[in-house]
Amino acid sequence: MDSRIFDIVLASASPRRRELLQQIGVRSRVLPVDIDESQLAGESPTDYVSRLAMRKASAAAALAECDNRLPVLGADTIVELRGELLGKPADSGQAIEMLTRLSGTTHQVHTAVAVVCHGATHQRLQSSRVTFAMLTAAQIRAYVDTGEPLDKAGAYGIQGGAAAFISHLEGSFSSVMGLPLFETAELLAQCGVDPVNKTHNSEIA
């Protein structure tokens, strides 16, 4: 495949991450990978999310169909509530349980980004604090019934209907959405893809 069509390889099937990259003018070839996402014993939430981002980028870079002339980006997002990780809910019941726990509380959202290029791996971590208003059971049920929470860490999407639940945000909106754009742009600039100056890998190869 002609690398000039794309700026990077994105080791994720998330449409949100691809849309965020498009927002800053980065063209990505989607190449998702399947890795073991089990948390290691004693592993902190930030170490966990950082390790997964690195493993995703490295796993995609090792695939035969990966164009290694391009930077390979992996990312992972987790929700942490009082030291406990909240991943994607398995079903509607679990989504309701998660949202009930988040109601009226402040939690953290950690997103790690890793980029493999020129034989090296570069990484950044962004942590945000998100405060939910008190939610009624009816509000939670109505939101879960939309189906939106089922593929999102913590059972909510800040860019969707859950925006009405968030009373305060300290950090990065795009990071909570799944990809911190400031940190991502900095990493990609180190690899020859600079959205700010509109230079791309194909132009400097």
pLDDT digit string, tens, across residues 144-197? 999 999 989 999 999 999 999 999 999 999 999 999 999 999 999 999 998 767
Contact, 129 vs 108, CB < 8 A? yes
Under the banding of pLDDT at 50, 70 and 90, the label for residue 119 is: confident
Q: Which of 111, 112, 9 is nearest to 62 (CA)?
A: 9
Burial class (CB in 10 A: 0-12, 13-18, 19+), 65: exposed
| Lookup result for tokens 């049920």 | 141
- What the block records as the tokens of 165 is 């639940």
Known catalytic residues are 76
Judged against a pLDDT cut of 90, whether residue 142 lies above it is answered with yes
Going by DSSP bridges, is the β-strand pair 72-81/84-86 parallel, antiparallel, or unpaired?
Answer: antiparallel
Query: Taking the model in full, what pTM does it have?
Result: 0.90
Give domain limits for the chain: 3-204
DSSP classification of residue 12: -
User: How much is the pLDDT for 2?
Assistant: 45
Architecture, CATH, for domain 3-204: Alpha-Beta Complex (3.90)
CA atoms within 13 A on the CB side of 41: 0
| Lookup result for tokens 């180190």 | 190
The Cα 18–Cα 3 span in angstroms is 17
Judged against a pLDDT cut of 70, whether residue 1 lies above it is answered with no
Q: What is the pLDDT of residues 41-95, one digit of tens each?
A: 999 999 999 999 999 999 999 998 888 899 999 999 999 999 999 989 999 999 9
